[in-house]
Structure 1
Amino acid sequence: MLIVEDDPRIAEINRRFTEKVEGFSVVGTASTGMEAKDWLEVLRPQLVLLDNYLPDVLGVDLIWHIRQHSRNTDVILVTAANETEVVQEALRGGVVDYIVKPIQFERFRCSLEQYRDQREQMKQNGRMDQYQIDQLWKGGSSLSVSAKQAASPPSVPKGIDPITLKKVQRVLLEGGSQGWTAEEVASQLGASRATARRYLEYLVSTGTLRADLSYGSVGRPERRYFFTSVRHLG
């Protein structure tokens, strides 16, 4: 698999997610369209994880280059773009899936597993009847039940606003490996420390974050929040 993503943090998340799915490995990473074209020619990857907003080209335009020069390469678009015209262009370009950031691991995993299963099914059949073709086509445009559940907005308890939760998640993405305290998140949000703490503890309860005690310069312990090794935000 080739990852085409200009944000090194997101590229690393994609790489780690990929390594958790059996049957997939990352052979290269590109941060621009030009670099992606070079890797495509050299590596001939079976699958590309493609962002839409690259420094020198749009991902949906790069899809057509792939179709012309790497016809055996499939594409999954992984992007923050959710405009209808972008989705339509991706469909015209024949992408096998479209994942909207921030990425949820379960949604990502279901996408790769479904792609892997479809490839295996086509390898086993020299010819396919209408039912088998229908299964492939419908499977490609409508995810399995588990994938649909992963793609749906998660239900949140009372007191957790989904919009505020997304803002907290965006703040956390910029924290790197050093993590965040409730006070630091509150400052970025323009909210109270208690509000930030409530959302951080909620993310701990879902397994997205873990909390550790650290000691400041005056020796007072404080809770610092880090992403878990299994769940991350994209």
Structure 2
Amino acid sequence: MTSAIEVLIVEDDVRIAEIHRRFLDKVGGFQMTAIANSGQEAKDYLDVLKPQLVLLDVYLPDMKGMDLIWYIRQYHKEMDIIMITAAGEGEMIREALRGGVVDYLIKPVMFQRFAQTLGRYREQMRLTDRTRLNQAELDRWLWRAESEEKRSAEVFPKGIDPVTLGKVLRTVTSMSGKGVTTEEVAVKVGVSRTTARRYLEFLVSSGRLKADLSYGSVGRPERKYMIKS
């Protein structure tokens, strides 16, 4: 999937809707198609715009968000839903999960949690765009998603953002088994060399990566990072 994922925001509070729109812009890879402030307006946008993803509030002025979930499941089965709501009741959450929501975020939503959910969704779309997956490939994604979710609960030191940390770790994982340099990671992730080095050294200190010195024919030895086996 190379084009941006189209998103409909369904939220009756204009200020919160604008916050979510800005969050989407910061995450990247997503394009807001419209903001619906009521259930009926949402239905109209769903029928006409046909977004891939709906960010849905439970409390709407003219209907319950749960009713809109079942409307989407009946008429737009191909659309995905992420709930973003102040409703934290167990019964409400269970019904939303039965309706097949991708994730359930409880307000007020911090950007870190929002970005994690959208990033996982984007990766899932890229993975499932492939014609066929085998069990090993699917398990790697599911288990990696689970491990990332567990890591999000960790307390990170100042200067370490979990979203950037995940990008750095995935970059090292996906690149050469012989190890990658700070500069290579910085270019791939889109951060400065100083920032890349800080994250790489944190991953070394936490036991997720190992580092070694690579001696070239000329110049100083270079520190390379790789997944710890």
| Higher RCO structure (Cα 8 Å, ≥6 apart) | 1
Q: Deviations over 1:155-208 (max 9, x none)?
A: xxxxxxxxxxxxxxxxxxxxxxxxxxxxxxxxxxxxxxxxxxxxxxxxxxxxxx
Partner of 1:127: 132
- Aligned-partner SS, 1:26: strand
Shift of 1:147: 3.8
Q: Distance in 2 between matches of 1:18 and 1:37?
A: 21
> Structure 1 residue runs of 4+, over 4 Å off?
135-143
1:53 aligns with 2:59: yes
Aligned residue pairs, count: 151
Q: Distance in 1 between matches of 2:68 and 2:145?
A: 21
Shift of 1:57: 1.2
Q: Distance in 1 between matches of 2:46 and 2:147?
A: 28
Q: Deviations over 1:12-34 (max 9, x none)?
A: 00001111111001110001110
Amino acid at match of 2:50: R
Q: Deviations over 1:69-89 (max 9, x none)?
A: 111110000000000001000
- Aligned-partner SS, 1:20: helix
Alpha-carbon RMSD across the aligned residues, in angstroms, is: 2.3
1:40 aligns with 2:46: yes
| Unmatched runs of 5 consecutive residues or more in structure 2 | 1-6, 157-229
Partner of 1:74: 80
1:90 aligns with 2:82: no
Shift of 1:136: 5.2
Q: Distance in 2 between matches of 1:66 and 1:135?
A: 30
Amino acid at match of 1:119: M
Q: Distance in 2 between matches of 1:106 and 1:117?
A: 16
Moved more, 95-104 or 53-62: 53-62
Q: Distance in 2 between matches of 1:76 and 1:148?
A: 20
- Pick one of 140, 144, 148 that aligns with 2:149: 144
Q: Distance in 2 between matches of 1:44 and 1:137?
A: 27
Q: Distance in 2 between matches of 1:122 and 1:77?
A: 22
Q: Deviations over 1:132-166 (max 9, x none)?
A: 334555667775345445xx9x9xxxxxxxxxxxx
Residues 62 and 142 (structure 1), Cα distance of their counterparts in 2 relative to 1, 3 Å cut: farther
Q: Distance in 2 between matches of 1:48 and 1:140?
A: 21
Partner of 1:160: none
1:99 aligns with 2:134: no
Residues 41 and 138 (structure 1), Cα distance of their counterparts in 2 relative to 1, 3 Å cut: farther
